[in-house]
Structure 1
Amino acid sequence: MKPAISTLMMLFLLGNLISCKAQNKADKEKEIYQERVKTAFKKGWTAYKDYAWGEDAVNPIKKGNHNWYAESLLMTPVDAFSTMYLMGLEEEMTENKELIFSKLDFDKDFEVQQFEIAIRLLGGLLSSYQLDGDPRFLELAKDLGDRMIPVFDTPTGIPYRLVNLRTGEISGNGTNPCEVGSMLLEYGMLSKLTGDPKYYELCKRGVVAMYERRGKTGLLGSWINCDTGEWQDTRAHISGGIDAYYEYLLKGYLLFGDEDLKEMWDVSRKAVDTHLAEETENGYWIGWADMNTGERILSRFGALDCFWNLCYVLDGDTERAEKLQASIYKMWNLYDIEPEAIDYETMQPFEDSKYYMIRPEAIESTYYTWKATGDDQYYEQGKHMFESIEKYCQVENGYVQLSDVTTKEKWDTLESFFFAETMKYCYLFFAPEEVFDFEKYVLNTEAHPFKNTWDEGWKGNKVGLK
């Protein structure tokens, strides 16, 4: 006669069964959400194909389109390609490549904003080359880089903002830190992939020149003269106009191993933590202060500021990351979708900042925090953010921004970062682990993956992520 199974063994087997069922349910949910995010991406892409094919961006409600400049530079197609690749959208990739290689031409007699073109187009082309392998992507990237580097020919090395793509004429001798430093990854990648160091060296010269003019607190101001190096606005913050300068110090170190960048990042982070970060009864926030005195001048935190949390994660500080993430999610939940900026003392949006541009930074922050901690509350937060976009930004034939989060009034435009960033981060919450490996890639500020392919024995980006 066989012995009876013990009660302890029965409980053990039952526990395993429940655990397996729970895991299967979680896996099934992720599979469903994978397809939902892909469907959202394809719906936006269909709107672009139907109403904006060959132009920069689509206006779904009026079934129209718009360009950034006098002619299209294929902003949406180039920005969208790396996300298509990660999602495995073969049909869309094929048609996109055909459009890019048949129409994209940088011999244009008009000025462009160098930094925006660098993070979107130069970054998109370089990443597409690394992911897809087609050398035509790199050829286009080199042509674009060569047309833009005249901006660095200034008395201080701090680049001008604007450049004519045909003539090389530069203008815009007033600039901000973001437009000085947040193309370091792109020019660095161009140098590494072409073997020509000039792109990185010129860009780094501008970054160092900006850093050397930091205030007594270690912070940077908001506006500087490129010719004289004199600050014209000494307000310090991490918002638009400064944000990605700091981001690229850390990411540049992770991608290139440049110890100078690490030193500049360490000094800058300490300055932000000391003079801009503060805890209030409403949470942990990063505000505004004077770059020289450290005097606080504004309790403003917004959508773009959320990037700082991924810096905490990449720098290995999950404790601060979780505190800031709680504030970010609180801001999102004020109206079930985030406004552009709030006063964190009153927890009300500024009158000129009630809109939502389908920005990715809050979702990006949530993803990084989830990957760093493994805490599923952040997975649930990411899922909720995607559902908010589905609920409020979706229209019959695509997705649009919101002009007012309090009323959910629609704003009829869909910019390229919806495809490059927002949908990519939403997808990564639910994608199989093998789709994207943080130990191999650094994402630029437009969420284009860059991979170190030149250092023998390179171990990858393991800072702050499990």
Structure 2
Amino acid sequence: MISAGRLALSLAFASSALAANIQAPNIRLPRSATANRAAVEQIFTESYAAYKKFAFGHDDLLPLSQSFTDGRNGWGATIVDAMSTMHIMGLDDLFLEAVNFSSHIDFSKSQTPDTVSVFETTIRYLGGLLSAFELSGQKFPILLEKAKEVGDKLAFAWVGSNDVPFGEIVFATNTPQIATSNIAEAGTLTLEFETLTKHTGNQTYADLALKSVRHIANLTAPLPGLAAQGIDPTSGEFVGGYVTWGGGSDSYFEYLIKHARLSNTNDNIFADTWHTAVDSSIKNLLRTSTVGNHLYLADFDDSRTIRHIGSHLACFYGGNWLMGGRLLNNQTIVDIALQLVDACWNTYAGDATGIGPEAFAYISTDGNFTGGDSPSADQLAFYAEHGYYITASDYIQRPEVLESNFYAFRVTGDSKYLDRAASAVASFNKFLKTDSGFAGLNDVNNVNGGLIDDNESFWFAEVMKYLYLTFDDPNHISLDSFVFNTEAHPFVAPPAKPVYGSPQSILPPPTKPFQLKKGAPLPAISPNPRLPKPIPVPPQS
């Protein structure tokens, strides 16, 4: 475990030497990696074949009912989301088919529903199109043209002099919807918009995304560097004071360091704010379970109380801290990140299917408060054995635990991460496979709990890609040459700078203490822009 002395070290240190590469040098793959990589490709091709048979042109496959949904506006989300993975796997025929389909998408209006999520459309459609454009050597300019169409529509989310975009737009009328947003929605646009600027020469795209992040970073936060989850695009002020690395906040923190790396900007606010957020999290949110000594990041609620909860979605933080720790040449962050990766993997290893739950909780020396019900007798018994207990038992094909596992392997070269990925592949084949593709699970701790009739597009974009690349040549899509967006679409990165952030990158304390605005509504606990979509009644044949 990390000693108390090391935790007390200031994370302001930044080496004057060249920043370390993210990946470990000279990683050697065992012979088993080839077979495991092929097994992942087989899952992808079986999943996509079922999608083509029952849902082609629509957003998601319903594998149990052999039908489809259009919860991502009916533009063929699975096809666009899968393109970068197809190219990485060398599935050229499928890739060319996807390029042809994408070239005919009508982005002038949503097919269904009327409103368009700025966040989801940016990470899936804009990110997918731009990544495929780059990965294919810019041989298909139509992909950039379609990305520009999407970007031009998304730009209507910024109204007047507002720094923060609205979260939803009606594409048919270019009308943003007036509603409270969150920092994940408002702060997860930089990688895609700056890449669109890179290829079009239009600085407006990058400027829009960057002014939103700068605005959030400059607000007085509940904890240093840790922005509150809710934000009002109209006023530009936080709504409530809930702090989490989970849904509703997650990719805002993720993109701070990723933007710094992809852009090599000399504006240190991005890397510095990320560094401060990590330092603040270590000082305020880091908790160790009383069973197993697993290391987790807690939430911090509006009453300034620690909530001992975690989620599959939040488990991206291990990989993100590994990336940032290496870029800052900060071994303390790397060491803590590896323990966070281990704790999240423990939620896979501890249950009956070997697949992690949607949400979990734990007990630390400061208690077991979660903001909800106290653990039941069954949950306490489970905790006594595993060091966590399940609070939401479903698995909707999330990638984050496997994402962090991938980063951990690329950073260390330790074969235990290959073993973990192979275990996940075996569990997917055993528990998720149907006659018509791969589905989610109702209960990861009940092998007879039944399946969820949905196959998310991020199954193709993220889960399959991270697993495949874990077993692939580390020099293929190297973390030192690409930056992944939050949907796992890789963008070509320039050579790394010698150092990221300021030599003293811990930001000064705010000029005034954070206060919850009187009468401001409290946000729901961890509102998540990536919750599973409502599944409508399948169309009748």
Q: CA deviation at 1:49?
A: 0.4
Structure-1 separation of matches of 2:342 and 2:30? 26
1:163 aligns with 2:179: no
Which of these residues, 274, 286, 301, is aligned with residue 297 of structure 2? 286
TM-score, normalising length from structure 2? 0.76
1:232 aligns with 2:234: no
Which of these residues, 118, 134, 140, is aligned with residue 130 of structure 1? 134
On the 8 A contact 2:285/2:306 being kept in 1, the answer is no
Aligned ranges for residues 372-391 of structure 1 at < 5 Å?
Answer: 372-391=411-430
On the 8 A contact 2:191/2:485 being kept in 1, the answer is yes
The aligned counterpart of 2:88 is 86
Rg larger for: 1
Which of these residues, 476, 490, 504, is aligned with residue 435 of structure 1? 476
- What whole-Å deviation, never above 9, does each CA across 1:93-115 have from its counterpart, x for those lacking one? 1222222223x110115320111
Q: CA deviation at 1:27?
A: 4.4
Count of residues in correspondence between the two structures: 429
The aligned counterpart of 2:514 is none
On the 8 A contact 1:289/1:298 being kept in 2, the answer is yes
3-state DSSP of counterpart to 1:375:
coil
The aligned counterpart of 2:202 is 196
On the 8 A contact 2:299/2:306 being kept in 1, the answer is yes
Distance 1:461 1:34, change over 3 A: farther
Structure-2 separation of matches of 1:101 and 1:225? 35
Structure-2 separation of matches of 1:154 and 1:207? 17
TM-score, normalising length from structure 1? 0.88
Which of these residues, 289, 308, 326, is aligned with residue 299 of structure 1? 308
Q: CA deviation at 1:463?
A: 8.7
1:248 aligns with 2:255: yes
Moved over 3 A (4+): 25-28, 460-464
The aligned counterpart of 1:459 is 495
1:140 aligns with 2:137: no
The aligned counterpart of 1:172 is 178
Which structure dedicates a bigger proportion of its chain to helix?
Answer: 1
After superposition, the CA RMSD in angstroms is 1.9
The aligned counterpart of 2:466 is 425
On the 8 A contact 1:438/1:462 being kept in 2, the answer is no
On the 8 A contact 2:39/2:425 being kept in 1, the answer is no
Query: Match of 1:217, as an amino acid?
Result: L
On the 8 A contact 2:157/2:168 being kept in 1, the answer is yes
Q: What percentage of aligned pairs have identical amino acids? A: 29
Distance 1:48 1:189, change over 3 A: same
Which ranges of structure 2 fall in alignment gaps of 5 or more residues? 1-27, 327-332, 364-382, 501-541
Aligned ranges for residues 199-210 of structure 1 at < 5 Å?
Answer: 199-210=205-216
Q: CA deviation at 1:376?
A: 1.2
The aligned counterpart of 2:116 is 112
Structure-2 separation of matches of 1:191 and 1:164? 23
**307-316 vs 53-62, greater mean Cα deviation:** 307-316
Structure-2 separation of matches of 1:461 and 1:303? 32
Structure-2 separation of matches of 1:214 and 1:334? 39
The aligned counterpart of 1:181 is 187
3-state DSSP of counterpart to 2:393:
coil
On the 8 A contact 1:318/1:373 being kept in 2, the answer is no
Q: CA deviation at 1:171?
A: 0.8
Structure-2 separation of matches of 1:210 and 1:434? 36
On the 8 A contact 2:319/2:341 being kept in 1, the answer is no
Q: Which fold has the larger relative contact order, with Cα–Cα distance below 8 Å and residues 6 or more apart in sequence?
A: 2
Query: Match of 2:439, as an amino acid?
Result: V
Structure-1 separation of matches of 2:491 and 2:402? 20
The aligned counterpart of 2:229 is 222
The aligned counterpart of 1:329 is 345
Which of these residues, 271, 292, 298, is aligned with residue 262 of structure 1? 271
Which ranges of structure 1 fall in alignment gaps of 5 or more residues? 1-24, 453-457
- What whole-Å deviation, never above 9, does each CA across 1:407-463 have from its counterpart, x for those lacking one? 2420010010000000001101212334322221001110001013xxxxx424899
1:50 aligns with 2:53: yes
1:96 aligns with 2:98: yes
Query: Match of 2:349, as an amino acid?
Result: N
Query: Match of 1:389, as an amino acid?
Result: F
On the 8 A contact 2:393/2:442 being kept in 1, the answer is yes
Which of these residues, 313, 317, 330, is aligned with residue 322 of structure 2? 313
On the 8 A contact 2:241/2:301 being kept in 1, the answer is yes
3-state DSSP of counterpart to 2:83:
helix
The aligned counterpart of 1:447 is 488
On the 8 A contact 2:298/2:310 being kept in 1, the answer is yes
Q: CA deviation at 1:297?
A: 3.0
